[in-house]
Chains A and B, each alone.
Chain A
Amino acid sequence: MNTATVVGTASMGAKFLGALVLTLKVLIYLFLMVMIGLFLMGIYRKFTARVQYRVGPPIWQPYIDVIKLLSKKDAATKNWVFDLGVIMGLGGPLALLLFLPLDTIVGLNFHTKGDLILILYLAVVGPLGFALAASVGASPWGAIGVGRALSMMLGYELPFILGLLAVVAKDGTLLLQKVSAAQSMWNPAGWHYFQWPLILAAIGAHIALQGVMSEKPFDQAIAPHEIASGIMVEFGGKYLGMMLLMKAASLMAELGLFAVFFLGGTTAWDTIVKIFALFIIAISFDAVLGRFRPDQAFTVLWKWPTIIALLGLLLTVFA
């Protein structure tokens, strides 16, 4: 009896230690991902400046911005829903990141359990939290921004999910691990992006990805020149700092999801390389394009990428 108690406490201690290590690993992983996401945003600002024939800020500018914003003395809050929305907005993409193969960077293996259904649910938590906070912000610009953001979400999710479904139909699995295992890591011919019927789905989803990341021409929700930065209008100080962190995390999550489904992202390092490549392509379009009107953007998204992705899906299923 005595020994049994000792064994019991020992295993409790080991369990506690294991949980502690796991928590630590998760925190380090999320921190790393947010840092890489902020680095991407630095590249974005430098790149855009160069396209506009300017010198541009240093590449570590987003880190400076986040330090400044989080060190602001006071933050104008509205009520507890406002706070909750901001936490939801940051938590959604962080939870999504846990189920991408990027987590092998610290030796986690949550991604073996992540499937598409779970990820699609988690993907909307961030934008919805953001919209929740913005709509209690009581600014008319914020309300317009929320309306635009939600209608854009409806617009880009259809082609994006159709594209992902084509891959699911091809591989016959919803698990991310199996989807990435069905592709080669570095040989482009083995990627879903460059296989015949799937290339249509990939192109459709890639156009929609521009909307998912809310880069131009699909950045109606945060149009600073039209609606005073839309959903961001009531966020200042620490809240805006958290929004920058959310933007960084969701960049990694969205691009990582696309890289896993179409570019064969298997481990952390090759996925990160592919994320950088995808991001450079996205910001090249962002730097030279204008912004659609909300109705135009919705029409465009439900017309061209949807038709292309649907064609890819049908050809994959029936041909």
Chain B
Amino acid sequence: MVEWLKLVDKARSRSIWMLMYCTGCGAMELPPAMTSRFDMERFGIMPMATPRQADVILVTGYVTKKTLKRIIYAYEQMPAPKWVVSHGSCPINGGVYWDSHATVNRLDLFLPVDLYVAGCMPRAEANMKMFTELMDMIAKGEARGWEEYVKNRDYYKENQRKLFGYDLVFTDGRSAL
């Protein structure tokens, strides 16, 4: 059974389908990582069109209050196991928008972030490093953010409630998992 789980973890690490939630300028550095120069598909990494098909959500850029709602909806629609990558300095500490009235400075108060990529913007090399790191973490079974989200659901939901002023309910009434 343990061997079988290892095999499954290996398969998960070699087939990462990502949902690129490109809120800001971060999208610019992903095409070079996708096309012939760096070619992320040789690791089985592909962009996907919908959250239902995705394994990892890339939040690439500043997070406003409005977009955060959509990010949470998208994240909760993804089938577990799922991972969050906080990409660029804006979702980590606010970046250049740190004192804006509309942006959220720290994404990891609201969603369980598995991996941070610092930089403004992180270049394609940093993206590839991020993907190989994420692959290693998944293969070893270390990236467990989706379990944290269930375990510490009260904490995350409380933070979301404080920010929005009301409970964020998943649209078809299903729980987050």
Contacts and interface: CB of A to CB of B under 8 A. Distances in A.
B132 interface: no
B79 interface: yes
Interface in B80-106: 80-81
B67 interface: no
Interface in A34-57: 45, 49, 52-57
B119 interface: no
Nearest to B54: A236
A290 interface: no
A56 B77 CA distance: 29
Nearest to A223: B49
Contacts of A237: 52, 79
Contact of A68 (B11, B78, B177): B11
B174 interface: yes
Contact of B52 (A56, A57, A73, A240): A240
B15 A76 contact: no
B14 interface: yes
Interface of B: 7-8, 11-12, 14-15, 35-36, 39, 41-44, 48-55, 77-81, 174, 177
A72 B80 contact: yes
Residue of A72, A234, A236 contacting most chain B CB atoms (<10 Å): A236
Nearest to B55: A68
A254 B78 CA distance: 32
Interface string A190-210: 000000000000000000000
Contact of B44 (A52, A57, A75): A57
A64 B50 contact: no
Contacts of A56: 39, 41-42
A73 B79 contact: yes
A76 B174 contact: yes
Contact of B50 (A54, A72, A229): A229
A313 interface: no
Interface in A56-87: 56-58, 61, 64-65, 67-68, 71-76
Given A52-B36, A67-B11, A74 B79 contact: yes
B79 A76 contact: yes
Nearest to B4: A71
26 contacts: A49-B41, A52-B36, A54-B39, A54-B42, A55-B42, A57-B42, A57-B44, A58-B44, A61-B44, A64-B15, A68-B11, A68-B15, A73-B80, A74-B177, A141-B50, A225-B49, A228-B50, A229-B50, A229-B53, A232-B50, A233-B50, A236-B51, A236-B52, A236-B79, A237-B52, A240-B53
Contact of B39 (A49, A76, A141, A232): A49
A71 B12 contact: yes
Contacts of A262: none
Contacts of A65: 15, 44
Contact of A235 (B36, B53, B54, B77): B53
A236 B15 contact: no
Given A45-B41, A57-B41, A72-B80, A64 B35 contact: no
A68 B81 CA distance: 10
Contacts of B7: 67
A235 B15 contact: no
Given A54-B39, A67-B8, A237-B79, 4 more contacts: A72-B79, A224-B48, A235-B53, A236-B54
A224 B49 contact: yes
A71 B41 CA distance: 21
A233 B49 contact: yes
Given A67-B8, A73-B81, A75-B79, A232 B41 contact: no
A83 to B, nearest CB: 15
Contacts of B12: 68, 71
Contact of B53 (A49, A67, A73, A236): A236
Contacts of A141: 50
Given A61-B15, A71-B12, A72-B81, A228 B42 contact: no
Nearest to A222: B49
A45 B52 CA distance: 22
What are the 5 closest A-B residue pairs judged by CB atoms, nearest first? Answer: A236-B52, A237-B79, A67-B11, A228-B49, A73-B80
